[in-house]
Chain A
């Protein structure tokens, strides 16, 4: 997100050269001048996010799954936590990123934000699916039910449908710009689900337990379980960032390629006359 914000501060029109003959082609391309800077920055960042994702996820999961102690009442089933909690955290954090991109798109009409929103969506849907599936696998042996319609579970299911709806809506228009606009509006309307997910376990009676890790209080978890969980969550976060970064780079390059082919096609069509 920092990359997008700093890029947003620069003037995209500033890259257009003084050469009049080039201005028309630059006019077509100038929208992607900023993404050009993004590509250079992203290419430098990518190896770091990849490496951190692999190392931290591996470290956190091996520690959590094999070396962390079993819970006194849940036994080894508590180890599902080391996948479930990072996935749940990223389901919400990914949606926050999607909402920020949507604001950048609707207010500042930033083309890179449109592409970023389109690339965050499927990754967010995937982690939300992992969160729901791992939670279900955890719920059956502990609670005695695969699924219950309590406020926490239902609001996360709504989040999954929002992600899927965003993916579908982006692709429902012939003109991509209209799809981006509709998708951004949907993403922002859906952002109301985020506080509902967060506070559902405090506002209403739920079967799902309240958060063990909060900003205000001390964690209600043994430190021998907390550390692998935090490292796993950090690793998952870098993994999310690495996948979105790779997808976004590919999308920007694809966009540039399309513009290049279009302008070349136009030039070829214009040449004989």
Chain B
């Protein structure tokens, strides 16, 4: 019994030591663990010529698409609500790319303040809703996807049940 409890306490002590060591290490490295930086962070500490990932929401009405020598070229602004950065990208944008969507762009901040991206990824949020619900929310004026994430599911889940039953009957 004493040997068992001794082993148990040894295990608990090792767990606490290992846990706090990992927590400290992860905290110290958190600047490197983040996948992207926000526009305000990027502008606060300009990483001159260093390749970084910039993440944020595409500003509504800022997207301009053009074709230059057969290749699609896109310009848009990415914001975190405080600052916005102009992004240039030559290439095909992901399917989920749209105004109001969160995106992550890999590239570097040029001297003129624009961000030259070599890769753009779409970052969708954790909200999942049927097409009819999104359409109904848009028509009722409760939500425009161009201006940010959807309202909480509790506010439209009842509605989705209603549309389902009307379709079923």
Contact = CB atoms under 8 A, between A and B. Distances in A.
A71 B129 contact: yes
A222 B133 contact: yes
A22 interface: no
A204 B124 contact: no
Contact of A72 (B11, B26, B123, B134): B134
Interface in B91-148: 94-96, 98, 104, 119-135, 145
A134 interface: no
Interface stretch (A13-21, A41-49, A101-109, A116-124): A101-109
Interface of A: 69-74, 78, 81, 103, 106-108, 141-145, 148-151, 188-189, 192, 196, 203-207, 209-212, 218-225
B164 A224 contact: yes
Contacts of B120: 144
Mostly, the A contact residues are: loop
B123 A143 contact: yes
Interface stretch (B43-51, B65-73, B149-157): B149-157
A7 B104 CA distance: 52
Interface size class of B (residues with CB under 8 A): 35 or more
8 closest Cβ pairs, A-B complex: A144-B94, A72-B134, A69-B130, A150-B35, A205-B34, A209-B126, A212-B126, A221-B128
B81 interface: no
Given A142-B94, A204-B33, A224-B160, A212 B11 contact: no
A148 B124 contact: no
B26 A212 contact: no
B30 A204 contact: yes
A210 B102 CA distance: 13
